[in-house]
A and B are shown apart, each in its own frame.
Chain A
Amino acid sequence: MSIEVQHISKTFGSFVALDDVNLTVPTGQLVALLGPSGSGKTTLLRVIAGLEQATPAPGIDSGIRFHDEDVSHTPVRHRKVGFVFQHYALFRHMNVFENGAFGLRVARPRSRKLQIQERVHQLLALIQLEGLAHRYPSQLSGGQRQRVALARALAVQPKVLLLDEPFGALDAQVRQELRRWLRRLHDQLHVTSVFVTHDQDEALEVADRVVVMNRGRVEQVGTPDEVFHHPATEFVMHFLGQVNQFHGRVEEGRVRFGNLELPFPQYAHNQDGAARVFIRPHDVTIDTKTNGLPSIQATIERIHSAGAVVRLEMRTDAGQLLFAEISQERFATMHLTYGGTVFVRPRHIRVFTDDYDNCTRSAPLSI
């Protein structure tokens, strides 16, 4: 069951939560809506579920379609969506079994007791909580509640599964575990799923496709690889991991920033333009001596060596803070010290330029 979102806008008073959003979720995929808080990702999820009505836009063909069927005016209870709330929203006066059986009971009040029992126990087996059928939500841990919420949503065999910050309220270790579990579960069930998250690691690790949102708009849609390695906008570049940013100029096939000047054939105009240059901390090489290759001179301010990689905080002569990541092996051979001078050589950079039509162009550059 695919989901199609067409020209959806939503305003709360004067606040624009969604601004003409278009999105297609192909059948059977697990898609992440990724963005900072206030980017509209939860609102979009709630509009898809029918918990929120889109603000009507006269004259525009807008709507939500589930597999070519327009559900824009279908009330939430007939949309057949499974919705998992951020704070689980389990029925606190019902035990785990009753929570799971709720959807089946309200759909067919006369359905056979045995059928319900069979289905619910099957689901509890799926979420590995068979032994806890008679526990109440207040007696469960956060991770267990989350799984019960998921089982409850799956009980009614939803056409699409929507999860709002599914791991938001859990601690780091449980998060990791549940993430992998959700991915395995999705591979088992293949129900079209959308989940909201503000954690880029979560989105990149779990999802088939990532939808990066900002200020009520979709910035980029792509596979985790695409959005990470080929960010379409400066926002995506900033949001997916740490990045060093420089302000520079482009002119006649060259880009200048800091004290560097590099060839940049993508911009051939003879009139110079502003450029933003982005360098990922792991895309640089650090040397203690200059070897003639283009590099930025900087002073080491901080060294974080407790981790898989060593993270360096440096300051350039122009006073800009610069981040770099190098391997532990390389760090061991280098004898870096606080206040020491190093030469930072970018290996890959990404340049964003403003065109004449004020369109932002992005281009990668390997050195």
Chain B
Amino acid sequence: MAGAASLHARATIVQPRAIAEPKLVRWTLIGTTLAFLSLFLFVPLAAVFYEALRKGLSAYLHSFTDPAALAAIKLTLLAAGIAVPVNLVFGLAASWAIAKFQFRGKHLLITLIDLPFAVSPVVSGMIYVLLYGANGYLGPWLIAHNVQIIFALPGIVLATVFVTFPFVAREVIPLMQSQGTQEEQAAMTLGASGWQTFWRVTLPGVKWAMLYGVILSNARAMGEFGAVSVVSGHIRGKTNTMPLHVEILYNEYNFVAAFAVASLLALLALATLGLKTLVEWRSAVALAQAEANPVVQEKAS
């Protein structure tokens, strides 16, 4: 009953005239926003699918039978499949250290985690070439031991890991900090080991934030162009990821195939948005709960 009543109340709230803008201003603002969104978001998205399906569904589907396209899809999945779990482990470890412990250099670590956001992806790709390339610092040693990193899968994975590593940590740290360490202390007094405490108490507490970070980092891993472009070498069917493959096809004036692969990336983006909204909602609930039971900093009393 109470729920229904409040819902009803919310539905009948009318914005008071005193703080409302004149009609003309309102419609101008709304119109501008809609025009902007259409021009930069909806039309391009529709154009991708329009171009991809321009010569019919069979031409669209035929684009995916190309071995080079299949190889690009596989490589993208593989690179993301390695980079995302690596960053999940790193992100959780870093968040745990930052949120639950006090140590020297903590602020430096937080700054370093944000570094990939600040550095141009091309630059980060270049650094890996400089380090592991044939003419790089470690190049001669790697060649002598027959290890290829640049222009091969390891380089692509390295570049992807670099550009995606802030995502999980950035999502998990604030939640862990707001949850504090009381539950962990309680678990320890109840006889739990550090490992048991982590699996049974810490991790379940942050699972939604963690999943949100994974989704974001997966989207970025699959869509990354700049850093991967530098280290991949664009070997068709071998070191081309999906975004790189799209570029090559486009440069070859093979528009249907280019937009067909691009449409896959666009679909991925839409799926990510959907998942993100769902998880965002769940993690907002978790955060609200954490804040509803605030942790008072332990004082020596």
Binding site for B on A (CB under 8 A): 10, 12, 15, 17, 37-43, 49, 51, 76-83, 85-87, 89-93, 102-103, 106-107, 137-138, 149, 152-153, 155-156, 198
Contact = CB atoms under 8 A, between A and B. Distances in A.
Given A37-B301, A85-B185, A92-B290, 16 more contacts: A42-B299, A42-B301, A80-B191, A81-B189, A82-B189, A89-B183, A89-B185, A90-B183, A91-B183, A91-B200, A92-B183, A92-B289, A106-B190, A153-B189, A155-B190, A156-B190
Nearest to A11: B300
Given A17-B300, A137-B293, A102 B189 contact: no
B184 to A, nearest CB: 9
Contact of A83 (B186, B192, B290): B186
Contacts of A77: 188-193
Contacts of B186: 83, 85, 89-91, 149, 152
Interface residues of B, number: 27
Contacts, number: 94
Interface in B29-88: none
A155 B192 CA distance: 13
B130 interface: no
- Central interface residue in B183, B193, B290, by most chain A CB within 10 Å: B183
B293 A39 contact: no
B204 A93 contact: yes
Given A38-B300, A38-B301, A137-B293, A89 B190 contact: no
30 contacts: A15-B300, A38-B300, A38-B301, A39-B301, A43-B300, A43-B301, A76-B188, A76-B189, A77-B190, A77-B191, A79-B189, A80-B191, A83-B185, A85-B185, A86-B296, A89-B186, A91-B186, A91-B200, A92-B205, A92-B290, A102-B187, A102-B192, A102-B200, A106-B191, A106-B200, A138-B292, A138-B293, A149-B186, A153-B189, A156-B190
A88 B293 CA distance: 10
B201 interface: yes
Nearest to B185: A51
B277 interface: no
A152 B192 CA distance: 13
B185 A103 contact: no
A80 B191 CA distance: 7
B26 to A, nearest CB: 40
A91 B202 CA distance: 9
B289 A87 contact: no
A12 to B, nearest CB: 6
Interface of B: 182-183, 185-193, 196, 200-201, 204-205, 289-290, 292-296, 298-301
- Central interface residue in A81, A90, A93, A137, by most chain B CB within 10 Å: A93
B185 A156 contact: no
Chain A at the B interface: SS class: mixed
B199 to A, nearest CB: 10
Chain B at the A interface: SS class: helix
Contacts of A83: 185-186, 189
A87 B187 contact: no
Nearest to A136: B289
A38 B293 CA distance: 23
Contacts of A15: 300
A107 to B, nearest CB: 5
Contacts of A91: 183, 186-187, 200-201
A153 B301 contact: no
Nearest to B186: A89
A107 B77 CA distance: 41
B289 A138 contact: yes
Contacts of B188: 51, 76-77
B177 to A, nearest CB: 15
A78 B193 CA distance: 10
A91 B39 CA distance: 48
A283 to B, nearest CB: 31
- Central interface residue in B189, B205, B289, by most chain A CB within 10 Å: B189
Contacts of A107: 191
Contacts of B192: 77, 102, 106
B301 A41 contact: yes
Nearest to B203: A93
Nearest to A105: B200
Contacts of B289: 92, 138
A47 to B, nearest CB: 11
A153 B292 CA distance: 23
B300 A51 contact: no
Contacts of B187: 91, 102, 106
B263 to A, nearest CB: 39
A153 B109 CA distance: 37
Contacts of B292: 138
A340 B105 CA distance: 68
A37 B289 CA distance: 28
A72 to B, nearest CB: 17
Contacts of A51: 185, 188-189
Contacts of B299: 37-38, 42
A40 B190 contact: no
Contact of A106 (B193, B205, B298): B193
